[in-house]
Amino acid sequence: MQELIRQMLADLGEDPTREGLLNTPRLVEKALRFLKSGYDANIDDVLNGALFTVDYSEMVIVKDIDFYSLCEHHLLPFFGKCHVAYIPTNKVIGLSKIPRLVDVFSRRLQVQERLTNQIADTILDKVGPLGVAVVVEATHLCMSMRGVQKQNSFAVTSAMLGAFRNNSRTRMEFLELIKLRSPVPGIRETMRAGYACVGED
């Protein structure tokens, strides 16, 4: 990998032997292996049996989960917030495990729509709740640094499964509770967004 990175630097018109770039291939490889560590993660190991029998049947929400990922088209970052909710039947999942799941799927080459679905589908499969809702809001550097160069735009995707899909009151309660905010500092503190709903059952 490091030799490929050296060749890429040369193809871009740089001198990979100059002082500032001598360590770049090694550092880029190390960074990429960390950013793509989600491929090596085993979901059951991540959850580590953290399912607990609890007499609780109301909505559980973990919101404002920071994430960073790489777009699979340009290998440029996209990042933002993830909001996750589920309605348990007789088991709940340890709260720290939800951000860990977000990390597993974001540390891969991704598109935001797939990332949203993977989080929702995994919680539905592993926890068996009445419903799962996931909303992801993200800034994509492939839009702001290149291409259309729209620095203030961001994408919102959602996956609504089970009760969140079938019951509009439940869905609206979740959306009201998370009160979406822009992931970009200084942009609208509170907003009403149109949702691109993906992965609905």
Amino acid sitting at position 190: T
Active site residue 74: yes
Which residues fall within 8 angstroms of residue 27, CB to CB, at 6 or more apart? none
pLDDT-based confidence at 180, cuts 50/70/90?
Answer: low
Show the CA angle centred on residue 154, arms to residues 149 and 158, nearest 5°. 145
Q: How far apart are CA 106 and CA 108, in angstroms?
A: 5
pLDDT of 84: 98
The DSSP call for residue 34 is H
The one catalytic residue among 82, 83, 110, 112? 112
Which residues fall within 8 angstroms of residue 74, CB to CB, at 6 or more apart? 142, 146
Active site residue 142: yes
* Half-sphere exposure (Cβ direction) of 81: Cα atoms closer than 13 Å: 12
Active site residue 82: no
Domain chopping of the chain, boundaries: 2-35, 39-197
Higher pLDDT, 194 or 45: 45
Q: Is the per-residue pLDDT at 130 higher than 70? A: yes
| Sheet bearing 109-110, strands edge to edge | 109-110, 60-71, 77-87, 131-140, 155-162, 196-197
> Which runs of E-coded beta strand occur in the chain?
51-53, 60-71, 77-87, 91-93, 109-110, 131-140, 155-162, 196-197
Active site residue 149: no
The one catalytic residue among 29, 74, 113, 173? 74
Mapped onto helix, strand or coil, the DSSP state of residue 120 is helix
Active site residue 83: no
pTM: 0.85
Percent of the chain with pLDDT over 90: 79
Q: CATH number of 39-197: 3.90.1150.10, 3.30.1360.120, 3.40.228.10, 3.30.1130.10?
A: 3.30.1130.10
- H/E segment holding residue 182: none
Q: How far apart are CA 126 and CA 51, in angstroms?
A: 9
- H/E segment holding residue 180: none
Average confidence (pLDDT) over 14-35: 96
- H/E segment holding residue 161: strand 155-162
Mapped onto helix, strand or coil, the DSSP state of residue 10 is helix
pLDDT of 147: 73
